[in-house]
A = this chain, B = another copy of it.
């Protein structure tokens, strides 16, 4: 059943913190739960943008490609697109963009998808380099990320707002990726300056957390809540 009220997540964000980067769900299985979203592949190999049921990877080398259904994700969010236009946004830096989106949301206590089709004066993204086992930590991996700055680029920003209460399971606040219309650039957004674009929001009643029950490394990991949230804030922002 394609239920647009559900935000589906495979993996808990905390598992990336100590370096549990092994893919635990195929992209094919992931797409049974939504047609739109973000994520990453085994080894934290690049940043995923999922639009209209197609999964695109932006690699640290700066390449975009379509991901096969047999490839695996350690972490991803998807939903069935049924968002609503909240009007045009213009001339916003990242801080004011987040402020404007938050004002359009009904509350900060629910999960939302955030989508903008627009033109950006600046789109500053990153993609992390693929890691091999034994995996380093999330913070070590993010410290070696490749960054890209594109000017005057048109495309789709796609991501989520998650309430602070669920930090650890998710990256609290906004988690935003980008894919240019010409499929030449994308990635995890570090900074932006929006020229103009249309904002679409989708509010979820349900957050469905799907855990990798067959991954022995995950099952035996000891998580320290305080350290995890500090590391997520450092690596994801």
Contact = CB atoms under 8 A, between A and B. Distances in A.
B110 A223 contact: no
B168 A211 contact: no
Chain A contact-residue range equals: 20 to 34
A88 interface: no
Contact of A166 (B164, B168, B208, B220): B168
Nearest to A218: B109
A165 B223 contact: yes
A225 interface: yes
The secondary structure that dominates the A interface is mixed
A201 B110 CA distance: 31
A228 interface: yes
Contacts of A146: none
Given A165-B225, A169-B166, A211 B109 contact: yes
A125 interface: no
Interface of A: 6, 12, 14, 106-107, 109-111, 163-169, 203-211, 213, 218-221, 223, 225, 228
Sorted nearest first, the 9 A-B pairs with minimum C-beta distance are: A107-B219, A207-B209, A165-B168, A208-B208, A206-B210, A205-B213, A165-B223, A14-B165, A110-B211
Given A110-B213, A205-B210, A206-B211, 16 more contacts: A12-B165, A107-B219, A163-B223, A165-B168, A165-B169, A165-B223, A166-B169, A203-B213, A204-B211, A205-B211, A206-B208, A206-B209, A207-B208, A207-B211, A208-B209, A209-B209
